[in-house]
Amino acid sequence: MSEQTYTGSCHCGAVEFDVTMALEGLITCNCSICRRKGTILGFTPAEKFTLKKGEDHLTDYQVGKKTIHRLFCNTCGVTPFGKGMAPDGTEMRAVNVRCLDGVDIDSLEVTKYDGKSL
């Protein structure tokens, strides 16, 4: 699957972003927070992500080792993306693919990740 540029947002529209990414390597995670949120995560380097509006609506929530910034809209509660570092030290974004416009979620190949065991 090739890279495309997508527009995404939280539910209320206070947070909007553009991201260029291929919808591959997607995961769902069974850790205590991902399991409850039901996110489908795709990863992309930070330079391929642009926050168009809503930085003032984002609240940061961190758990465990506090290496991932799980950002959520403080108006509607949706988690459209997170910030962190890839294993090679590259700054990345973890995008909730469910927040991208025009994506057929049922057509995606998603891998289950066992975060609960970490």
Q: Which tens digits make up the pLDDT trace of 42-84? A: 999 999 999 999 999 999 998 767 778 999 999 999 999 999 9
Tell me what the mean pLDDT of segment 14-24 comes to.
Answer: 97
- Say whether pLDDT at 86 is over 90: no
Q: How far apart are CA 5 and CA 115, in angstroms?
A: 28
Closest Cα partner for 51 from 83, 19, 21, 84? 19
Question: At 20, is the pLDDT very low, low, confident or very high (cuts 50, 70, 90)?
Answer: very high
> Domain locations in the chain?
4-112
- The residues with which 19 forms a beta bridge, in sequence order, are 6, 49
Both tokens of 71, joined, read 């950002």
Q: Which residues of 31-62 are buried (b: 16+ CB within 10 A; e: fewer)?
A: beebeebebbbbbbeeeebebeebeebbeeee
CATH number given to 4-112: 2.170.150.70
